[in-house]
Structure 1
């Protein structure tokens, strides 16, 4: 339970307490970000210390693991910031940014593993054997694990997909229509010396695009991956095809634009892959 709580504390501090402004200027907000991790992990460790480890000493089971998590997290974030600074902000570099994001989260996960092993006496070998035995988890552990998977399926995966796709180019905005205006001016004096009519005609063509509601698109992505997660958990794979079909029908007119179609396909396939993978993990762990 403690291990799951520490992972949940990390996710809350990293993806809910950290605002978009802090992400954009992370180097100047690093102290605030580390403070969030200090707060969340401190609350978890204090609760478990008071109920389970009070007789073992406050330094070995509270202060030392908390300082270890905060210090390691600080150096991991500084390293990530330095590496991202050398990458140009372009769509061609998005894969590198995704790689840095995944490695960053894996390093934090390893840090929590080390804290559990070095300070808190968590027996991971026993946990692994329990997992292989096929015995069911307790209700509390099942709820914690489910919450963690839901966070990965929504906020974490949404952040990863946003990095992978990059910013939405103007030409990929919602097409609303084309309008043509003509302005024609007759010059009557021209007919005094010449035969025929002289006219000046101007034609203006306008292509109208509407901006996407980013919050609405974000919510659609969350619901999509949660539906895929639930359908995978119950092995209802054919129903996942209806989700893809519904998205395609809603954007049918925009599919004529090859760039937009590729953008849409990349986002949809990534979202489906994450949802199905997490659904399989959740099913294998809880059933």
Structure 2
């Protein structure tokens, strides 16, 4: 039983580190800050401080007294490395004129997560047997699944939304100039912010349905979304972007649900 709890605590700290990374890199950082940090190093440093605070806040509930110093070193080191990686990414984006933004985003995220997990492993951080939250001791066996679901929800919201948006922007770069006049009405009627919210809700619903094993119900969600855009689907450019966006969005949510359910549920 002791070994099982130790294993759960070690798994929990990796989940919380990933959640801290997602919160710090996608939720605490606004679109305005993401744009400004590319031109102002002070804004980039501010983002890195927020990133470190996110890691500290989310992981402090499982860190033991003996692990406080190694954990603080990990967080500080990740803040410094985060700034270095983001600075390099910004320079490469400027040199390549944003032609490889999607690839750079994926590499950027893989590097952050790999270094974060690698540092945690090398420092031997495993956490305690219980989570200490608001003066209460929570056994990991009771909150492991809930933490996994919350992790999936975080992934399906802002990170997935950014990826889908970047893919659609990349696809429309060439066709936008050719169809701008014909698509003026569609573009004027379409609110990108509303579309982003709809996409997030769509992914979250699909993710939850996937977690509970109701994959057949996903078709009704997609059908309802298509009905709302029925008239706009007559425009070829909009229809192509809509299909790609919907399929990619659904794919990300389903993959996330399958991975969380099969590999993270304890």
Q: Is the 8 A contact 2:144 2:265 kept in 1?
A: no
The normalised TM-score by structure 1 is 0.72
Aligned length: 231
Q: Report whether the alignment pairs 1:15 with 2:18.
A: no
| Structure 2 CA distance for partners of 1:40 and 1:232, relative to 1, 3 Å | closer
| Structure 2 CA distance for partners of 1:252 and 1:44, relative to 1, 3 Å | closer
Q: Is the 8 A contact 1:34 1:73 kept in 2?
A: yes
- Whichever structure has more helix as a proportion of its residues is 2
- Structure-2 residue corresponding to 1:184: none
**Which structure exhibits the higher relative contact order, with contacts defined as CA atoms closer than 8 Å and separated by 6 or more residues?**
2
Counterpart mapping for 1:47-196 below 5 A: 47-49=61-63, 52=64, 54-55=65-66, 59=69, 61-89=70-98, 93=99, 96-122=100-126, 138-166=141-169, 169=176, 171-172=182-183, 175=186
- Structure-2 residue corresponding to 1:32: 46
Structure possessing the higher radius of gyration over alpha carbons: 1
| Structure 2 CA distance for partners of 1:234 and 1:146, relative to 1, 3 Å | closer
Q: RMSD value over aligned CA atoms?
A: 2.4
Q: Decide which moves more: 155-164 or 237-246.
A: 237-246
Unaligned runs of 5+ in 1: 124-136, 176-208
Q: Is the 8 A contact 1:7 1:109 kept in 2?
A: yes
The normalised TM-score by structure 2 is 0.77
Q: Decide which moves more: 113-122 or 103-112.
A: 113-122
- Structure-1 residue corresponding to 2:7: none
| Structure 2 CA distance for partners of 1:145 and 1:233, relative to 1, 3 Å | closer
- Aligned-pair distance for 1:173? 5.6
| Structure 2 CA distance for partners of 1:249 and 1:43, relative to 1, 3 Å | closer
- Whichever structure has more strand as a proportion of its residues is 1
- Structure-2 residue corresponding to 1:260: 238
Unaligned runs of 5+ in 2: 1-11, 128-139
What is the CA deviation profile of residues 209-236 of structure 1, one whole-angstrom value per residue up to 9, with x for unaligned ones?
6332233212211111112112222332
Q: Is the 8 A contact 2:232 2:238 kept in 1?
A: yes
- Structure-2 residue corresponding to 1:218: 196
| Structure 2 CA distance for partners of 1:158 and 1:173, relative to 1, 3 Å | farther
Paired residue secondary structure (2:213): coil
Distance 2:58 2:153 in 1: 20
Distance 1:55 1:253 in 2: 62
- Aligned-pair distance for 1:151? 0.7
